[in-house]
Amino acid sequence: MSVFVWVIAITAFAGIVMTGFGGLLGAVLERNSTKIVSLLLAFAGGIMLAVVCFELIPDAFFPHGATEEMPLALVLAGVVVGFGLIWLLNYIIDKNTNPEVKHIDAKHPHTADDLNELIHADHYSVHAQKKSHGNHDLFMAGIVMACAIALHNMPEGMVIGASYAGDAGEITTGAGFLIAMVIGLHNIPEGMSVSVPLISGGMKKWKAVGVAALSGAPTVLGSMIGYSIGMLSPVWLSFSMSFAGGAMLYVVFSELLPESFLMWKSKAPGALTLIGTLVGIVLVYV
| pLDDT confidence of residue 79 | 95
The pTM assigned to this predicted structure is 0.74
What is the total count of domains within the chain? 1
From first to last of its 286 residues, the chain has per-residue pLDDT tens of 688 898 999 999 999 999 999 889 888 875 556 777 788 889 988 988 998 999 889 989 988 777 889 999 999 999 999 999 888 877 776 666 555 455 445 554 455 545 555 555 555 555 555 544 455 665 666 666 677 677 778 888 888 898 888 765 677 777 788 888 888 887 887 788 778 777 776 778 888 899 889 988 999 999 999 899 888 888 998 998 899 889 889 888 988 888 788 878 889 999 999 999 999 898 888 7
CA atoms of 143 and 172, how far apart (whole Å): 34
List all residues 6 or more positions away from 48 whose beta carbon is below 8 Å from its beta carbon: 179, 182, 248, 251, 252, 256, 276, 280
| pLDDT confidence of residue 176 | 83
Question: For residue 240, what is the enclosing H or E element?
Answer: helix 234-250
| pLDDT confidence of residue 277 | 94
Closest CA to 52 of 275, 276, 241, 273: 241
Range of the domain at 274: 3-285
Closest CA to 182 of 79, 277, 105: 277
Report whether 177 contacts 171 (CB < 8 A).
yes
| pLDDT confidence of residue 13 | 95
